Structures are given as structure tokens and as C-alpha cells.
């Protein structure tokens, strides 16, 4: 959707070039920092501060101090020892200090003549000539009091070609420009909200953060965020939350096809299943059914721990779509998982008058053309695949339902972008999102606040917890022996190789080597290998062989993390578990314990383990509950890691920091609710300020 231009230019939108000292070249450089307008400079906050409120006498200096000093030059000399450098000795009557420069210009040598008085700021270190400052910031002064700054000096994040002093000067001008014009930067937060949280006004907050008074230095140095910073982070979180809510509301305004499922079709489908739905599955299926019956689109997330039986619940929704004459698209994050869904759905829908098709990026040529044709003419009622489902070349006849499995991997922006797809005849499809990745409640607020949530909080009957133990890799031979014994009892097992995740090549290599070594150690065991770099058909063949019990041990990379379902496989060895997140380990472990026999997970770690490493593995031993594990993971690793940098499309914040400002999240939904009810007029301005008009959230 094209970006709507701002209709009323206001002082906030002034380009940075209106500031003294910022020409076209500097402006281009500042743009790399996301700074285009004067207002952007205000929200470009200092990383830290320097205290230049007093001059420290030279006889009070200690190594490690970062201080402002003043003295007269005694001599300046070239030093040949070690790396060439220039030493300039200064003294203030009480003590002396050496300044060391590794690059020294002619201009500097002319400036730093004996007797000249200079002020310097920098860190004190111990050098071979006593206490020294290396490359200090310095300037010549007549009167030392000129050096003193009444406020703490901000240190901003920089980009190449823009100096600290240039950005400081620009920020100072931006502050005075915006703060002196009353409406230039409007405080949108209602006064009662600021008061109840004891937050400063926006103007005061920005002023404090760009030039904090020295009395705040103790608080800043102790690492406690200032209320001014808290306020901005709060406002930013709030804006994101409101944007998601707004997106949901906007989407729900669209007409959607009402999908209904008659009792007879439903009963026939359920009767053909080899199990009865759990109470939790029934409840969630009913919630979905009620949503789909509306002529407004559903936006629902189904959260359920690994193995809780989400797929069949999604199948019921697809059945409703089918019964109402609409198509369903089911998207999974990996080929492996989508192939597995494809097999399940093909089986479940075999007796129904429709075709279930598979579409992935790897599908080429004639088959691809035929698949696209069947989706366009409606002869395929269900299509399952990877994100290739939503490429421009794919057109649906009448898409009524989109199911996204494990969308946590896709990220919030991709999910929202998908909403744009698939509308037919002005109708928007219903959306069902399934995730087994439990997200701690506070984080879910930012990730999922645009969705209604259903939880399958019960496992199918007869499931036993996976007995988990941590074993040092020094006992690898014992573990191999255990596999041999296990396989002799007609059971199957997984051996998962993990490595640094970014390198799929290395991960696959490791799996290949491990498979070779295990084949040598266990000649009687039939060993299969599956990894991400194999062709889809090869992977499929290996998986199928494993399912059919033609293979006893499956060596795999983390590609099997989601969805793989082979109930007879009840033993899993995970190598280097210390390198993975707890939730990911829980997902992997969820591949076993899917039948009603005993099952085991052996975490084969590299000794020695760090203290945290031990704690983390202990959590897995103690708990089989994905939510408990995710909460503990959050405590031990922090939100950045839990949300995962490896995942694409996560929210990028300008100022807020999930780690530092985590406790603010708790209060966001209530504050957002108050705003929706009593101050709806500030929603858009807040979103514009923090997210901008062109970003995905609000565009539906
Ligand atoms: N009510 C039930 N009773 C017994 N078995 C069930 C029930 N519901 C589903 N199952 C079976 O449990 C297994 C797990 O189901 P499914 O694959 O849907 O789980 P899931 O929630 O998607 O788990 P994961 O997130 O691990 O993929 C499957 O073999 C499925 O056939």
C-alpha cells in the first residue's frame, strides 16, 4: 500500500539541513542513523554521558578515572620507544600528567607549546611514563572555568563521517528549536497517565536525556534507567501495542466468508480419526468454529505445547471452509513440516470430494503449473506448503482460511503482510495461527496483541513425560551402547546434531560425520540421515523410511525441530544442548514421547558446563511444560535471546529495550485499553511518531 504523505508539514518534519552546520553531506550520513528530520535527532538518544562538571586536580588522578583536567604544557616530545608517539606533559602546580598521541599533526605541534594552558577530557591510564591520557579531547583555554559544563555531556551513537561534537551541536539546536515552540513536539500521553506513573512530560524527558543535570550522574552511572527514559520506552511499547490492536480492528472491519460446518460432516470426520479429541481440543475447535461462522475475519492464535494435537484442530477449520465452498491454505515454516501436514491432510480428506495439494519453492515445471491451475480454478480445496504459497504467482479461486503453523518463526511483519494476500471478491480470509513455541505472557503482549488466543492446555491421554538426563560427551560410548540396546527392543531413536545455527553447511557436515561414525560403531543398526541441504525428495524418502520402520536411528540436524511425528521413536540424543535455547530443546524433545510408551531424552553436553549451562539443563530435566520452560529461559537468558535474533521480522525498537524495560510490559495492555476507550484521538499520532506511516502494522 503506498505511503500516505503527511498532509500538514509541521516543525517536526523540518529536514536536518535546517540546522547550522548540517549540510547535504552530513545529512546523508545522518540518514544512516535513521535521522532525517529535526525531530529524529531528539529521539536519537545518547548512549552514555560524561561528567565535565568539575576539574580534577592532577594530584588526585587514579588509573581508570574518566575526568576533566586542566594544566599548562611543560614540554612536547617525540618518543621513539615502541610505537612512535608524541608525549605532551602538562602540570597544574600540584601534579602532572602525560598526554600521549599516536597521530600528531603539524598544527598540534604548533599549538601545544610550553606554557600554553589546555583542558583535556579522557580516561586515565598507567603508562611507562606514569599516569597518562591517550588521545584526549583537548582545547586551549584562557580561563579554566570555560571548560566546565553544567549538564552531563551526552555521547551519541555515531556513524562514519559524523563527529561527536557535530552531533552534539545538532542535537542542542534541535532541542531548543522543538522545545521552544510549544506544539512542535507534542506530548500525546494523557496527563493522568503521566501522573499515575510519575513520568515527566515529553519535553522534560527529552531535555533530561540530552542534557542531564550533574546530580543525576550517580543514578545514571549505577545503570538505573531515568524516569525520562522509562517514559519514552513506555510510550514506544504502547505505540506498538496500539498499532497491533489497530491492525486487528481494521482487519476485522472487512467482510469475510461465513464458514459453517454441518453436524453430519463433522461427525463423519471425527469418527474416522483413530482417537477422540481431548476436552481442550474440543473447546478450541468450538472457539474457532464460532469465529469462522461470522462474516468478519477470524484472527486467532492457537497455542499448544508440543504434541498437544493442534493439527487436527486446524483440519476441522479447513473442513468448515471446504463444506462452505472455500479453499484453505496451510503454511508451515519448513519443507519437512509442510510435507508432514500434507500427508496427514491427504489422509484425513481422502474421502472428501476435493484435492489436497502441496506447493513449495522446490516444486517446478509442469507439476507447479498444474498446482497453480488447480488453486486458481478451485479444484484444489486445500493447499499445504511453505511461504511459497504466498508468492505473487499464486492465485486462489476462493480462499476462505489461512492456517499458519509455527508462525513465531515468521515474525510479526510477515504475518501482517500475509493478511493482504488472498482476498477474493472483496472478502478476506479467516486466519488461524498455530504455535507450539510458548511465549512468556509479557512478551506475547508485543507479539500477539492483534490476535485472539486459544490454548490447548492438555495433552492426549496416556502421554508420559520424557525422562531427560544430561550426560557429558566423555560418556559418548555409553550413549551409543544405549542406542544399540534400545534398537534391539524394536524401538527407534533420533540423534540430533546441533552446531552454530547460522551455519547450515557446518551443521549438515557435522550430521554427515556423526552418521558415518555411528554407522561404524553400530553396524547392525539401520541409520538414516536427514539435513537441511538435502533435496526435498531425498528428505522425504528418509523420513518415510523412518516412519515405516525401515530405519532404526535417524541422525538429523535441527530441521526436525518442529512437527516430526513418529510415535515409535522414543529416544532422542541431542548433541551440544548447551548451544540451544531451552524452548528449542523442548521443541526437539517433543519429537519423542508422542506414543504412550516410556521415552527418553539424553542431552549430550560438552564438559565443562558453565553455572548457567548447568541450571538450564536442569530445568529441562525437571519440567516437561513448555510454558514453565519458556519463563525460566526468559529469566536466565533475557528476552532478546528468547525472542531470538535468528528469527526474522522481530520488532525493532528505537529506544525501548526488551531487556532493560521488561517490567514495563506488564502495564501496557491496561494503558492501551484506557487510551482506546478515552483518548482514541492520540492513537494515530503515537503510531506515527514511533512506527511511522509506511510500516506494516496499521496498513490493513
Ligand atoms: N486427542 C488425541 N488423542 C490421541 N492422539 C492425538 C490426539 N490429538 C492428536 N493426536 C496425535 O498426537 C500427535 C501430535 O499431534 P500434532 O502433530 O497435531 O501435535 P502438535 O500440537 O502439532 O505438536 P507439535 O507442535 O509438536 O507439532 C499426532 O500423532 C496426532 O495424531
Distance (angstroms) between ligand 1 centre and the Cα of 228 equals: 49
Has residue 34 been placed in a domain? yes
Ligand 1 in contact with 343 (CB < 6 A)?
no
Residue 124's pLDDT is: 94
CATH classification of the domain holding 559:
3.40.50.300
Same-domain pairing of 33 and 179: yes
The ligand 1 atom at the shortest distance from the C-alpha of residue 562 is 27
Average pLDDT, the chain: 84
Distance (angstroms) between ligand 1 centre and the Cα of 308 equals: 5
Q: Which of 155-169, 186-200, 492-506, 677-691 has the lowest mean pLDDT?
A: 492-506
Distance (angstroms) between ligand 1 centre and the Cα of 285 equals: 14
Domain boundary pick from 588, 623, 658 = 623
Residue 520's pLDDT is: 93
List the residue whose alpha carbon is closest to atom 9 of ligand 1: 309
Domain boundary pick from 623, 648, 680 = 623
Same-domain pairing of 167 and 28: yes
Do 578 and 605 touch, CB atoms closer than 8 A?
Answer: yes
| pLDDT of 326 over the 90 cut | yes
Residue 2's pLDDT is: 37
Residue 281's pLDDT is: 97
What is 387-408 written as a DSSP string?
Answer: GGGGSTT---SSEEEEEEETGG
Same-domain pairing of 212 and 69: no
Residue 109's pLDDT is: 81
Interval 381-410 mean pLDDT: 83
pLDDT tens, position by position, 83-141: 778 889 999 999 999 999 888 788 888 888 999 999 999 999 998 778 999 988 898 99
Ligand 1 in contact with 333 (CB < 6 A)?
no
Same-domain pairing of 125 and 106: yes
Has residue 448 been placed in a domain? no
Q: Is the peptide bond before 424 cis (omega within 30 degrees of 0)?
A: no
Which of 309, 337, 454, 561 has most ligand 1 atoms within 8 Å of its beta carbon, as the pocket-test mutant? 309
- Give the whole-angstrom CA distance, residue 415 versus residue 511: 32
Distance (angstroms) between ligand 1 centre and the Cα of 410 equals: 22
Q: Residue 101: left if φ>0, alpha if ψ -120 to 50, beta else—which one?
A: beta
Give the N- to C-terminal CA distance of the chain in Å, as an integer.
9
Same-domain pairing of 172 and 207: yes
Has residue 87 been placed in a domain? yes
Ligand 1 in contact with 304 (CB < 6 A)?
yes
Which of 311, 332, 595, 630 has most ligand 1 atoms within 8 Å of its beta carbon, as the pocket-test mutant? 311
Do 690 and 235 touch, CB atoms closer than 8 A?
Answer: yes
Distance (angstroms) between ligand 1 centre and the Cα of 619 equals: 24
Same-domain pairing of 144 and 179: no
Contacts of 548 (CB under 8 A, 6+ apart): none
pLDDT tens, position by position, 203-219: 889 989 998 887 887 78
Distance (angstroms) between ligand 1 centre and the Cα of 326 equals: 25
Distance (angstroms) between ligand 1 centre and the Cα of 277 equals: 10
Residue 435's pLDDT is: 83
Has residue 631 been placed in a domain? no
Interval 19-45 mean pLDDT: 87
pLDDT tens, position by position, 32-41: 888 888 888 8
For residue 435, list its beta bridge partners.
303
Q: At 657, phi and psi to the nearest 5?
A: -135, 120
| pLDDT of 556 over the 70 cut | yes
Residue 102's pLDDT is: 84
Do 455 and 301 touch, CB atoms closer than 8 A?
Answer: no
Q: What is the dihedral of CA 272, 562, 376, 419, to 10 degrees?
A: 110
Contacts of 285 (CB under 8 A, 6+ apart): 277, 313, 316, 317
Number of separate domains in the chain: 3
Do 88 and 69 touch, CB atoms closer than 8 A?
Answer: no
Residue 232's pLDDT is: 95
Number of H helices, E strands in the chain: 25, 21
Same-domain pairing of 601 and 482: yes
Q: What is the pTM of this model?
A: 0.72
- Whether the CA torsion 559, 562, 566, 567 is positive or negative: it is positive
Provide the strand spans (E) within 436-531: 452-456, 467-472, 492-496, 527-530
Same-domain pairing of 30 and 98: no
Do 73 and 112 touch, CB atoms closer than 8 A?
Answer: yes
Which of 307, 316, 408, 584 has most ligand 1 atoms within 8 Å of its beta carbon, as the pocket-test mutant? 307
Instruction: Quote the cell numbers at residue 648.
Output: 526474522
Q: At 356, is the pLDDT very low, low, confident or very high (cuts 50, 70, 90)?
A: very high
| pLDDT of 286 over the 70 cut | yes
Ligand 1 in contact with 563 (CB < 6 A)?
yes
The ligand 1 atom at the shortest distance from the C-alpha of residue 276 is 1
Tell which residue, 234, 685, 251, has the closest CA to residue 430.
Answer: 251
Residue 649's pLDDT is: 39
Instruction: Quote the cell numbers at residue 692.
Output: 511511522
Do 419 and 268 touch, CB atoms closer than 8 A?
Answer: no
Distance (angstroms) between ligand 1 centre and the Cα of 363 equals: 28
**Residue with grid cell 598521541, as numbered in its chain:** 101
Residue 383's pLDDT is: 95
Ligand 1 in contact with 279 (CB < 6 A)?
no
Instruction: Quote the cell numbers at residue 475.
Output: 560418556
Has residue 454 been placed in a domain? no
CA atoms within 13 A on the CB side of 1: 16
Contacts of 541 (CB under 8 A, 6+ apart): none
Interval 219-238 mean pLDDT: 88
- Give the whole-angstrom CA distance, residue 468 versus residue 629: 14
Do 114 and 73 touch, CB atoms closer than 8 A?
Answer: yes
List the residue whose alpha carbon is closest to atom 27 of ligand 1: 563
Please state, in angstroms and as integers, the Cα–Cα distance from residue 373 to each residue in 81, 127, 318, 411, 653, following that order. 78, 76, 20, 30, 42
Classify each residue of 384-423 as buried b or exposed e, where b means 16 or more C-beta atoms within 10 Å of its C-beta. bbbbbbbeeebebbbbbbbbbbbbbbbbbbbbbbbbebbb
List the residue whose alpha carbon is closest to atom 18 of ligand 1: 309
pLDDT tens, position by position, 427-458: 889 999 888 766 666 677 777 778 888 989 88
Has residue 110 been placed in a domain? yes
Domain boundary pick from 148, 167, 192 = 148
Same-domain pairing of 130 and 18: no
Distance (angstroms) between ligand 1 centre and the Cα of 313 equals: 10
- Give the whole-angstrom CA distance, residue 574 versus residue 693: 45
Nearest 5°: CA angle at 502, between 501 and 508? 65
Distance (angstroms) between ligand 1 centre and the Cα of 628 equals: 20
| pLDDT of 491 over the 80 cut | yes
Question: pLDDT over 70 for what percent of the chain?
Answer: 88
Has residue 618 been placed in a domain? yes
Residue 563's pLDDT is: 59
For residue 594, list its beta bridge partners.
none
Ligand 1 in contact with 307 (CB < 6 A)?
yes
Q: Which of 11-15, 101-105, 612-616, 638-642 has the lowest mean pLDDT?
A: 638-642
Ligand 1 in contact with 311 (CB < 6 A)?
yes
| pLDDT of 16 over the 50 cut | yes
Please state, in angstroms and as integers, the Cα–Cα distance from residue 677 to each residue in 316, 681, 682, following that order. 36, 10, 11
Query: What is the SS3 assignment for 16?
Result: helix
Which pairs from 410-415 meet CB under 8 Å and 24+ separation? 410/333, 410/648, 410/649, 411/647, 411/648, 411/649, 411/650, 412/244, 412/447, 412/649, 412/650, 412/651, 413/649, 413/695, 413/696, 414/387, 414/648, 414/649, 415/649
Interval 535-559 mean pLDDT: 86
Total number of residues shown for the chain: 700
Tell which residue, 187, 41, 10, has the closest CA to residue 685.
Answer: 187
| pLDDT of 530 over the 60 cut | yes
Distance (angstroms) between ligand 1 centre and the Cα of 504 equals: 28
List the residue whose alpha carbon is closest to atom 25 of ligand 1: 306
Distance (angstroms) between ligand 1 centre and the Cα of 310 equals: 6
Same-domain pairing of 505 and 594: yes
List the residue whose alpha carbon is closest to atom 8 of ligand 1: 309
Residue 252's pLDDT is: 85
- Give the whole-angstrom CA distance, residue 526 versus residue 548: 12
**Residue with grid cell 517536526, as numbered in its chain:** 12
Tell which residue, 383, 399, 400, 391, has the closest CA to residue 338.
Answer: 383
Residue 450's pLDDT is: 80
Q: At 699, is the pLDDT very low, low, confident or very high (cuts 50, 70, 90)?
A: very low
pLDDT tens, position by position, 141-194: 999 998 888 888 888 988 888 888 889 999 999 888 877 765 667 889 999 999
CATH classification of the domain holding 85:
2.40.50.140
List the domain range (segments joined by +) for residue 213. 5-48+156-224
Q: Which of 265-269, 272-276, 325-329, 421-425 has the lowest mean pLDDT?
A: 421-425
- Give the whole-angstrom CA distance, residue 161 versus residue 371: 53
Please state, in angstroms and as integers, the Cα–Cα distance from residue 158 to each residue in 29, 47, 154, 345, following that order. 10, 10, 12, 54
Contacts of 667 (CB under 8 A, 6+ apart): 197, 234
Same-domain pairing of 33 and 161: yes
Q: Which of 377-391, 459-473, 495-509, 556-570 has the lowest mean pLDDT?
A: 495-509
Do 87 and 99 touch, CB atoms closer than 8 A?
Answer: yes
Same-domain pairing of 505 and 593: yes
Distance (angstroms) between ligand 1 centre and the Cα of 86 equals: 72
Has residue 456 been placed in a domain? no
- Give the whole-angstrom CA distance, residue 605 versus residue 195: 52
Residue 689's pLDDT is: 86
Amino acid at each position: 500500500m503506498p505511503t500516505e504523505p503527511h498532509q500538514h508539514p509541521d516543525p517536526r518534519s523540518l529536514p536536518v539541513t535546517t540546522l547550522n552546520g548540517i549540510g547535504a553531506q552530513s545529512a546523508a550520513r545522518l540518514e544512516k542513523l535513521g535521522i532525517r528530520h529535526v525531530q529524529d535527532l531528539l529521539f536519537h538518544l545518547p548512549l552514555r554521558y560524561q561528567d565535565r562538571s568539575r576539574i580534577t586536580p592532577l594530584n588526585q588522578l587514579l588509573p581508570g578515572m574518566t575526568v576533566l583536567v586542566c594544566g599548562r604544557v611543560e614540554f612536547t616530545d617525540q618518543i621513539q620507544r615502541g610505537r612512535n608517539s608524541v608525549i605532551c606533559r602538562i602540570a597544574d602546580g600540584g601534579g602532572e600528567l602525560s598526554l600521549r598521541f599516536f597521530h600528531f599533526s603539524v598544527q598540534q605541534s604548533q599549538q601545544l607549546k610550553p606554557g600554553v594552558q589546555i583542558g583535556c577530557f579522557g580516561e586515565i591510564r598507567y603508562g611507562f611514563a606514569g599516569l597518562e591520557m591517550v588521545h584526549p579531547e583537548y582545547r586551549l583555554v584562557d580561563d579554566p572555568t570555560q571548560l566546565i559544563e553544567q549538564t552531563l555531556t551526552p555521547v551519541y551513537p555515531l556513524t562514519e563521517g559524523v563527529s561527536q561534537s557535530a552531533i552534539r551541536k545538532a542535537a542542542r539546536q534541535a532541542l531548543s528549536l522543538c522545545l521552544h515552540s510549544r506544539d512542535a513536539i507534542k506530548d500525546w500521553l494523557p496527563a493522568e497517565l503521566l501522573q499515575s506513573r510519575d513520568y515527566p512530560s515529553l519535553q522534560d524527558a527529552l531535555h533530561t536525556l540530552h542534557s542531564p543535570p550533574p546530580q543525576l550522574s550517580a543514578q545514571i552511572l549505577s545503570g538505573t534507567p531515568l524516569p525520562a527514559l522509562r517514559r519514552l520506552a513506555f510510550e514506544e511499547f504502547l505505540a506498538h501495542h496500539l498499532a497491533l490492536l489497530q491492525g486487528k480492528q481494521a482487519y476485522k472491519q472487512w467482510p469475510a466468508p461465513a464458514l459453517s460446518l454441518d453436524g453430519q460432516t463433522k461427525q463423519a470426520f471425527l469418527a474416522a480419526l483413530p482417537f477422540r479429541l481431548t476436552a481442550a481440543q474440543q473447546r478450541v475447535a468450538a472457539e474457532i468454529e464460532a469465529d469462522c461462522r461470522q462474516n468478519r475475519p477470524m484472527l486467532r492464535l492457537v497455542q499448544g505445547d508440543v504434541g498437544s494435537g493442534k493439527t487436527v484442530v486446524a483440519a476441522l477449520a479447513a473442513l468448515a471452509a471446504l463444506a462452505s465452498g472455500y479453499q484453505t491454505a496451510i503454511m508451515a515454516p519448513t519443507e519437512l513440516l509442510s510435507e508432514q501436514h500434507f500427508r496427514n491432510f491427504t489422509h484425513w480428506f481422502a474421502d472428501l470430494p476435493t484435492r489436497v495439494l502441496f506447493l513449495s519453492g522446490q516444486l517446478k515445471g509442469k507439476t507447479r503449473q498444474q498446482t497453480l491451475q488447480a488453486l486458481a480454478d478451485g479444484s484444489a480445496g486445500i493447499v499445504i506448503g511453505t511461504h511459497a504459497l504466498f508468492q505473487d504467482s499464486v492465485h486462489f479461486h476462493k480462499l476462505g482460511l489461512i492456517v499458519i503453523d509455527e508462525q513465531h518463526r515468521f515474525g510479526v511483519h510477515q504475518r501482517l503482510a500475509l493478511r493482504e494476500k488472498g482476498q477474493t471478491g472483496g472478502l478476506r480470509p479467516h486466519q488461524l495461527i498455530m504455535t507450539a513455541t510458548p511465549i512468556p505472557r509479557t512478551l506475547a503482549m508485543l507479539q500477539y496483541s492483534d490476535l485472539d488466543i486459544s490454548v490447548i492446555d492438555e495433552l492426549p491421554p496416556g502421554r508420559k513425560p520424557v525422562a531427560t538426563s544430561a550426560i557429558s560427551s566423555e560418556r559418548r560410548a555409553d550413549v551409543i551402547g544405549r542406542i544399540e540396546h534400545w534398537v534391539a527392543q524394536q524401538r527407534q531413536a533420533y540423534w540430533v546434531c546441533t552446531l552454530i545455527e547460522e551455519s547450515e553447511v557446518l551443521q549438515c557436515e557435522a550430521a554427515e560425520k556423526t552418521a558415518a561414525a555411528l554407522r561404524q560403531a553400530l553396524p547392525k543398526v539401520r541409520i538414516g540421515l536427514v539435513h537441511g541441504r538435502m533435496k526435498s525428495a531425498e528428505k522425504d524418502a528418509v523420513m518415510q523410511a523412518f516412519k515405516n520402520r525401515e530405519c532404526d536411528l535417524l541422525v538429523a540436524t535441527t530441521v526436525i525441530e518442529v512437527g516430526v511425528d513418529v510415535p515409535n521413536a522414543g529416544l532422542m540424543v541431542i548433541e551440544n544442548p548447551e548451544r540451544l535455547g531451552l524452548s528449542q530443546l523442548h521443541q526437539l524433545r517433543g519429537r519423542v514421547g508422542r506414543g504412550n510408551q516410556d521415552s527418553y531424552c539424553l542431552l549430550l553436553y560438552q564438559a565443562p558446563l558453565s553455572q548457567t549451562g548447568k541450571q538450564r539443563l536442569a530445568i529441562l530435566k525437571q519440567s516437561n511444560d513448555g510454558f514453565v520452560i519458556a519463563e525460566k529461559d526468559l529469566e536466565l537468558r533475557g528476552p532478546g535471546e528468547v525472542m531470538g535474533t535468528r528469527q526474522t521480522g522481530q520488532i525493532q525498537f528505537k529506544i525501548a529495550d526488551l531487556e532493560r524495560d521488561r517490567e514495563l510490559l506488564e502495564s501496557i495492555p491496561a494503558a492501551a485499553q484506557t487510551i482506546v476507550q478515552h483518548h482514541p484521538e492520540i492513537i494515530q499520532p503515537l503510531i506515527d511518531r514511533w512506527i511511522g506511516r509506511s510500516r506494516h502494522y496499521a496498513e490493513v
